Amino acid sequence: MTIQFNTDKNIAASEEFKAPLIIMISEGLSRFSQHITRLEVHLSDENGPKNGVNDKRCMIEARPEGMQPVAVTFHSDSYEQAVEGAIEMLLTSLDTIVRRSQN
């Protein structure tokens, strides 16, 4: 499972910033690693330099093997919470998709 990480211009995406998030995503989606060929993670700060409520957005697009891509989006006050929320939403979607494909 390859993870491609993208950020908008408002985020300084250093390796120190991305590494814990990539680990969180890898561990959170590990049970589907044999089904997913690639994940595209898009982080953005929708208010830019201004503070705001739920202005951090995480969109994760999963590309399951032999199936259409699945995308989820979650907004929160921090990037970590946004990533956690997107992982939970993606797990729910992938559970449903894998279960349907096996029936």
* Mean pLDDT (whole number) for 27-41: 91
Closest CA to 25 of 58, 51, 55: 58
The answer to whether residue 37 scores a pLDDT higher than 80 is yes
Domain 2-102 has CATH 3.40.630.30: no
Q: Please provide the average confidence, as pLDDT, over all residues in the chain.
A: 89
Question: Residue 84: its pLDDT value, please?
Answer: 96
Strands of the 2-7 sheet, one edge to the other: 2-7, 36-45, 56-64, 70-76
The mean per-residue pLDDT over the stretch 8-13 comes to 81
